[in-house]
Amino acid sequence: MRKNKIEWMTKIAMLSAAAMVLMLFEFPLPFIAPAFYELDFSEVPVLVGAFALGPVAGIAIEFLKILLNLLINGTITAGVGEFANFLVGVSFILPAEMIYRHKKNKKNAIMGMVVGSITMAVFAGFVNAFVLIPTYSKMLNIPMDAIVDMGKAIFPAVDSLSKLVLLCVVPFNLLKAVLVSVITAFIYKPLSPILKYRIKGKKQS
């Protein structure tokens, strides 16, 4: 049993390290959202880990990914941004894992990732509107109007924080979740035999 726990923790550590590295390679999508929103694929190892090792592992990988990135890159929001990113990530992986766990087949995996993507996009919208954007505005001393204007430069209809969230933030996060889901769908099956572990002599599927 002790060996199984060590194996489980080792796989979590490996996936967390992979997620942290992927988090370093982020890039903006200026045709959708202001440049300070950057896309990365660090949720891929998190989702893979949640599917293979369970929800606790997924949450642990998400947490360690954020923690490692915080230690390496620091923070400009006193940890608020990092905590919000953790919650957004969890809002994606938990619905996906719960649906997949109910019956582990391709159909449920796809359904789970669709539900997770929608949940993440909606939740990210609320977090950005009420936590992240106000925090960035205050911490960086950037007027809210200036942030809204960044969105207006992309979509002229953006004239308020709510429209910035609706037209930029939600689509950005939805696209991110979809891309992560597509990549996960391609790589999970080849990786799953390596990531599966045994509990009390029984192999977890």
Domain boundaries, the chain: 2-26+37-203
Question: Which tokens hold the place of 186?
Answer: 């391609």
Overall average pLDDT of the 92-117 stretch: 94
Tell me, what DSSP letter sits at residue 199? E
The answer to whether the predicted template modeling score (pTM) of the entire model surpasses 0.95 is no
Q: Report how far residue 154's alpha carbon sits from residue 24's, in angstroms, rounded to the nearest whole number.
A: 25
Tens digits of per-residue pLDDT, 9-57?
Answer: 999 999 999 999 999 999 999 999 999 899 999 999 999 999 999 999 9
pLDDT at position 64 is 97
Q: 2-26+37-203: which CATH topology?
A: Arp2/3 complex 21 kDa subunit ARPC3 (1.10.1760)
DSSP 102-153: HS-SHHHHHHHHHHHHHHHHHHHHHHIIIIIHHHHHHHTT--HHHHHHHHHT
> Quick check: 158 pLDDT over 90?
yes
Contact yes or no for 160/124 (Cβ under 8 A) = no
Q: Compute CA distances 117 → 111, 146, 187, 192, whole Å.
A: 10, 29, 18, 21
Name every residue whose Cβ is closer than 8 Å to that of residue 55 and which is 6 or more positions away in sequence.
Answer: 93, 94, 97, 98, 101
Q: What is the pLDDT of residue 3?
A: 66
Q: Summarize pLDDT for 122-144 with one digit per residue, the tens.
A: 999 999 999 889 988 988 889 99
Please tell me the distance from the alpha carbon of residue 39 to that of residue 109, in angstroms, as a whole number: 23
User: Is 28 in a helix, a strand, or coil?
Assistant: strand
